[in-house]
Chain A
């Protein structure tokens, strides 16, 4: 289980996280919604230890990751995968080398076994046969899918998705959602998804959290959110320009 407890983070005078509290259960798919620039990606980066909080804790299986040294953090990261908003593919490496990066550095698998795994993951994300293309030869959507293949290459227990469907067409968005659901079903993966895409969010979520003003203002199942009396939730779900989120 992942527990985020009273997490605070500021960048200069700007407070981005103001006491975030969150529980993510094993095997659960939690979607975090919120307007652009509210700190959703910052929250994800705290969970995987890319940022240190000003105060507060992130507990994974009872251990506070904010206090981990490099060795313990690396061991934890081997159990996690992250898909970045910009895909963050390594420009100087081809698709196969990108997807195989973790496998080559942290396993003793043969080249043939690694090639087989890479090809399997590329097929899963709908990009078979792209092994030897360079990132500069890929479209934005393809880059994102290669990023996802890299995130799942080591078969992680926890996957963090930072806007996984932004820039994808509706068919590919559904394909990524289905992949997400099949990973959850097949491997019992715990997922935390940051997105703006309401359709995708409701398709993959077990629970949804609304992040606004540096805090989680509402959390619940899809039905809880749809029926929520909270005007912020209603404004966000309906995508209304006027409402409490835009008045603050």
Chain B
């Protein structure tokens, strides 16, 4: 019982600290935009790093997911004579759920861990203290560019996952299932709505923000030496993925309700 209480206490404490870090990030963002001191150079560096780090894995994930979905759905639909819906169903699954979730998981593993390791190393080698002695707020200098870099790049990478997923799906649909390319594309255009795409991209951006906040928080809370950095890195990935999966449910419900209320 005490163990459960301890874990619950630590969980609530961590969530509180992450929320404070998130609020500080927003504060420094608006403060810097207002005073004209927003470090766009640092933001672009982070965006390029996050994008380059993740691109290959995102391509492999997207193509593979699109292809596998077409194989799984294609034969079933063919038996029911519903081949013309394959493209639409695959694109809906990709746009609404699979592309944002899988891209976020890939980025959490690749970028979330590297953020936690980098900031964790800075913490244990007194570089964070050095930043402060140079009158520089660590949240402003380290978290703000990573937060917006992750948020923006998750959006862009998810667009990319959707595109390569459809390309992978179309290749399998044409050469393995025996559909024509035109019927595959027509089906996508018929069934996939802009709100399906946008809903998935909004989710992806929120997942990006979650990965950045958790990665930075785990980095800042690193204690000890190399072992501490290793622990923070692993924690950042595990907690990010768990949080993404949990938040995904609520986002899906919210986006569906929004679509029903305002767009249908």
Contact = CB atoms under 8 A, between A and B. Distances in A.
Interface of A: 45, 48-50, 70, 74-75, 77-78, 80-82, 84-86, 88-92, 101-102, 105-106, 150
Q: Which 3 A-B pairs rank lowest in CB-CB distance, beginning with the nearest?
A: A88-B130, A88-B126, A74-B135
27 contacts: A45-B129, A48-B133, A49-B132, A50-B132, A50-B133, A70-B137, A74-B135, A74-B137, A77-B132, A77-B134, A77-B135, A81-B133, A84-B126, A84-B130, A86-B125, A86-B126, A88-B129, A89-B130, A90-B122, A90-B127, A91-B125, A91-B127, A92-B118, A101-B136, A105-B135, A106-B135, A150-B134
Interface in B108-161: 118, 121-122, 125-127, 129-137
A89 B125 CA distance: 9
A77 B130 CA distance: 11
Interface of B: 118, 121-122, 125-127, 129-137
A106 B129 CA distance: 17
Contacts of A50: 129, 132-133
Contacts of A90: 122, 127, 130-131
A49 B130 CA distance: 12
Given A88-B127, A92-B118, 19 more contacts: A45-B129, A49-B132, A70-B137, A74-B135, A75-B135, A77-B134, A78-B135, A84-B126, A84-B129, A86-B126, A90-B130, A90-B131, A91-B122, A91-B127, A101-B134, A101-B136, A105-B134, A106-B135, A150-B130
Nearest to B128: A88
Contacts of B125: 86, 88, 91
B47 to A, nearest CB: 16
Contacts, number: 51
B52 to A, nearest CB: 15
A80 B129 CA distance: 13
Contact of B133 (A70, A77, A89, A105): A77
Contacts of B136: 101, 105
A100 B101 CA distance: 42
Contacts of B118: 92
A90 B138 CA distance: 12
Most B-side CB within 10 Å, residue of A74, A81, A85? A74
Most B-side CB within 10 Å, residue of A77, A78, A88, A101? A88
Nearest to A75: B135
A205 B131 CA distance: 28
B135 A91 contact: no
A91 B129 contact: no
B253 to A, nearest CB: 39
A224 to B, nearest CB: 31
Nearest to B130: A88
Contacts of B126: 84-86, 88
Nearest to B127: A88
A91 B133 contact: no
A49 B129 CA distance: 10
Contacts of A92: 118
A77 B137 CA distance: 12
Nearest to A78: B135
Nearest to A101: B134
Nearest to A80: B133
A102 B122 CA distance: 18
Contacts of A70: 137
Contacts of B127: 88-91
A50 B121 CA distance: 18
A54 to B, nearest CB: 19
Contacts of A88: 125-127, 129-130
Nearest to A153: B134
Contacts of A86: 125-126
Contacts of A78: 135
A90 B122 CA distance: 8
A88 B131 CA distance: 9
A91 B132 CA distance: 16
A140 to B, nearest CB: 13
A102 B131 CA distance: 9
Contacts of A82: 130, 133
Nearest to B126: A88
A51 B146 CA distance: 26
A152 to B, nearest CB: 12
